[in-house]
Amino acid sequence: MLSNPRSDRVRAVRRLAGRSARQRAGLFLAEGPQAVREALPAGAVQDLYATEQATDRYPEIVDAARVAGVPVRLCTDEVIAEMADTVTPQGLVAVCRPVDVPLKRVLDARPRLVAVLAAVRDPGNAGTVLRAADAAGADAVVLTTESVDVYNPKCVRSTAGSLFHLSVVTGVPLAEATSRLREAGCAVLAADGAGELDLDDLQDQSDAGHGPLAGPVAWVFGNEAWGLPEQDRALADASVRVPVHGRAESLNLATAATVCLYAAARAHRRA
C-alpha cells in the first residue's frame, strides 16, 4: 500500500503531468476507468495505481491488468490525489507508454479518412477532435509540430479512450503531412469558415458518386482562435466551409471537425 504522497515514486508519477518530464521518461498518464480500460488492450500500460475502493468498483479492469502482467499498486486516496491531474480523481491512474506511430505506417495502410490538426493548441479541443475522428471511423489523426502534446493529461482525458483506438501521428510539419497524404491518394481539404466550397454541395456531389468526399480524404483543421492562415490553406486542394443556416456566428473547432469527418464517413459508407 502506497501511503506517503511525498514519496519519490509518487512524485515521479506526478511529474508526468508536465511535458518535459513526459519527454524525458517516455511515459504519460491515463486517469480514470474509461482511459485505463482502453489503454490495457492496447498494451500501453506499464503500471497501474488504484485505491481499494476503485479495485472493488472496477474489478474487471484490475483483473485485465493482472492478466496482462501489469503491476497493480494499491494506494491511499491521498496518494492518488497527488498523482492525478483532476480535481476529483476516480481512483485509477495508469502510467503508459506512448502509442503514436510514424506517418509512414499510416500511409502504407492507404487511409481513407484522416484528421490533421494544424497548430491546435487547446488540449481539450485536440482530444475531442480525436474522439470524433474515432467515432467517425477515421484511420488516423495527425498532430503537426505546432500542435499540443497529445499526451497532455487533459488531452488524454478528452479522448475518452479513443487515443488507444486509432493511429496517432505527432510532430510532423503541416507541409510534409499534406504532401505525403496527397501522394497516398487523399484529397486534402482545409476546413475554413470562409472556404470557397460548401460542405452541403460536396455532400450532394458524393450522393451522386463523385466529388472529393467520394474518395480518400484528409481534413485539415486549424487553430481555435485564428483558424488556418493563408499559407496553410494553400497547402490544401480546396478550402471548405460548413454552412451556418441559423444566426450563430460560427462553429467551434471540435463541432466543425465532427461535421466534416462525418460528412466524409457518410460518403464512404455509400460508396
Per-residue pLDDT, averaged over 201-210, amounts to 91
pLDDT given at position 259: 98
Give the pLDDT band of residue 224 (cuts 50, 70, 90).
confident
8-96, superfamily in CATH? Answer: Ribosomal protein L30/S12 (3.30.1330.30)
Q: Report CA 52 to chain centroid distance, whole Å.
A: 30
Long-range Cβ contacts of 196-201 (<8 Å, 24+ apart): 196/238, 196/239, 196/241, 197/238, 197/239, 197/240, 197/241, 198/240, 198/241, 198/243, 199/240, 199/241, 199/242, 199/243, 199/259, 199/260, 199/263, 200/243
Q: What stretch of H or E contains 190?
A: strand 187-191
103-270, superfamily in CATH? Answer: SPOUT methyltransferase, trefoil knot domain (3.40.1280.10)
Report domain extents, the chain: 8-96, 103-270
pLDDT given at position 221: 98
Structure letter (DSSP) for residue 164: G
Question: Whole-number mean pLDDT of the chain?
Answer: 96
Give the residue carrying C-alpha cell 480525436.
Answer: 130
pLDDT digits (tens, 9 = 90+) for 228-245: 999 999 999 999 999 999
pLDDT given at position 207: 87
pLDDT given at position 209: 83
